[in-house]
Amino acid sequence: MVGGLTATSAGTGGGSGDGSATERYKWTALSNTTIAVFMSALDGSIVLISLPAIFRGIHLDPLAPGNVSYLLWMIMGYRLVQSVLVVTLGRLGDMFGRVRIYNAGFAVFTVASMLLSFDPFDAGHGALWLIGWRVLQAIGGSMLTANSAAILTDAFPSDQRGLALGINQVAGLAGQFIGLTAGGILAAIDWRAVFWVNVPVGVFGTLWAYRKLRDNGQRHRGRIDWWGNVTFAVGLSAMLIAITYGIQPYRNHTMGWQNPSVFGALIGGALLLVAFAVIESKVAQPMFQLSLFRIRAFTAGNLASLAASIARGGLQFMLIIWLQGIWLPLHGYDYSDTPLWAGIFLLPLTAGFLISGPVSGFLSDRFGARGFASAGMVVFGGSFIGLLLLPVNFSYWAFALLIAANGIGSGMFGSPNSSAIMSSVPASQRGVASGMRSTFLNSGTSLSIGVFFSLMIIGLAGTLPTTLTNGLQRQGVSHAVAQQIGSLPPVSSLFATILGVNPIEHLLTPSGSLATLPIANQHALTGREFFPDLISGPFHHGLVVVFTAAAILAGLAALASLLRGGRYVHNAD
């Protein structure tokens, strides 16, 4: 008996080591879905580090007035689509076959990758082409991620799911960070290579999936919950779009939270989500199975996942800004080279995922998820406290150890937590449960970008304007120009560092002020040390706010994980 219910030792995947076709099938399913999840997650981050090359390739300055939206939608659009669609696509998998939806997703993802690499336009039209096909690519990725965990749960017996789901989830998490390195390398060759890399893998994976994967799980044909789908998609989209525009400047404000449209979208989205919850409690065949939240292990696991995802999601951006805007220039790297080197210096984070994820998944199959997942969040939160204590110009080995610990903590948590969530639900609900799990993950990531950028900008806004104005004036820039640049929203400087651009050079060049200064002052302003020295103090203040919030969220995730109860496997396996 497990959690009061009988746990079957051999699910649809067959017994261990019997050499049968069923035994071989489960490893085929794991291999194919791991490639798919890795590729989908990789594309969520590979574009981030490749943005400078992409925008140069389509001849667009994303930091010019009116162009910031292109930049934000290139970053956020993919994640937003995945947040909104995974539950619906998981539900469709339960109704029409998880493998059928999954296979179609592989094909859609591959076709979109081909179209992205053939952008025929320049400037704004070129950016819209990329954003539009990225949306299609995200739909394909959502079809893959929404059903992959359910396919594995169908294929593997309950005593091996932790290992299988652990490998699968670590592939997804690792893909997010490997994308940072791969994007820098591929963009140095050709910006289109960022999308080419998916094509051969996608074609192979699509053909392999169509030939080898089969539906083992239970099917429940039913009606599509149209009202639930519409209210959920529109409500969640409205809230995430509002968060996206909330970090943009609005009139004379540092951010857009005073924008009535942003406020209205947040309120309207929240009301639609309330309406969605009411609808789901009334309809006979709901899209979002609210009854699953009666399962303690399912609810606690998803709440822990949401808190951990919010804490982890903005970490990428904060570390990239820290490395590209301050640490790498201070250590002799040109701004144009910082995107590639930031990805390389973040490799210990990826290594932590790759080491701890499968190991903790394997061990959680034997000893249960609660201890590993909770301890993982303690390690994860402790790494944020350690990062808080580092000076801005840190010793790399101390930094590497802390981000490796961060990755290890995430891996310890992710694999057991996913296994516990998926094992706690009835077999007939695995598709929608997988989609719900992915929604919490993706929504947390999207939410964290808005939350952490807002916290960072608030931290910078109090001190950066004065610091920047005084620093420019000391180098001979006129009071009027220095004050004008100092009053610009800090988001401009943050985005410039993400794009591998020297922020001071980018801010001074349009005014023509840089060319009027003595050569020595020009070199000082556009050198590798001026901006990092200038921003170090204000940036560290912002980091304290951000990492403190992340550590608190990690603590909440650990608490939720502890409250999941003892080991629980649904008896309808």
Retrieve residue 550's tokens. 């992340």
Signed CA dihedral, 481, 483, 484, 489: sign only: positive
Contact 441, 401 (CB under 8 A): no
Amino acid at 37: V
What residue has token string 């053909």? Answer: 207
Q: What is the pLDDT of residue 569?
A: 53
Retrieve residue 398's tokens. 């101390």
Q: What is the pLDDT of residue 399?
A: 93
What residue has token string 């210096």? Answer: 345
Contact 428, 183 (CB under 8 A): no
Count of H-run helices and E-run strands, the chain: 23, 0
Q: What is the pLDDT of residue 11?
A: 41
The distance of Cα 152 from the centroid of its chain, to the nearest Å, equals: 22
Q: What is the pLDDT of residue 234?
A: 85
Q: Tell me which residue of 93, 118, 117 sits closest to 104, measured CA to CA.
A: 93
Low-confidence ranges of the chain (pLDDT < 50): 1-18, 572-573
Phi, psi of 54 (to 5 degrees): -65, -50
Retrieve residue 438's tokens. 């992915």
Phi, psi of 314 (to 5 degrees): -80, -10
The CATH fold of domain 21-224+296-461+541-562: Growth Hormone; Chain: A; (1.20.1250)
What residue has token string 């057991």? Answer: 416
Q: What is the pLDDT of residue 221?
A: 60
Residue 130 makes CB contacts below 8 A (sequence gap 6+) with 54, 58, 74, 116, 119
* Alpha-carbon separation of residue 124 from 66, 130, 131 (angstroms): 10, 10, 10
Contact 126, 116 (CB under 8 A): no
Q: What is the pLDDT of residue 16?
A: 41
d(Cα 156, Cα 227) in Å, to the nearest integer? 34
Give me the DSSP letters along 333-350: --GGGHHHHHHHHTHHHH
d(Cα 60, Cα 262) in Å, to the nearest integer? 26
Tens of pLDDT, residue by residue over 320-334, are 888 888 898 888 888
Tens of pLDDT, residue by residue over 138-176, are 888 888 877 877 788 777 776 676 667 767 767 776 676
d(Cα 58, Cα 56) in Å, to the nearest integer? 6
DSSP 161: H
d(Cα 390, Cα 284) in Å, to the nearest integer? 54
* Alpha-carbon separation of residue 536 from 19, 40, 485, 550 (angstroms): 60, 35, 18, 20
Contact 109, 137 (CB under 8 A): yes
Q: What is the pLDDT of residue 12?
A: 42
* Count of other CB atoms within 10 angstroms of residue 332: 9
Residue 430 makes CB contacts below 8 A (sequence gap 6+) with 94, 98, 149, 150, 153, 154, 217, 422
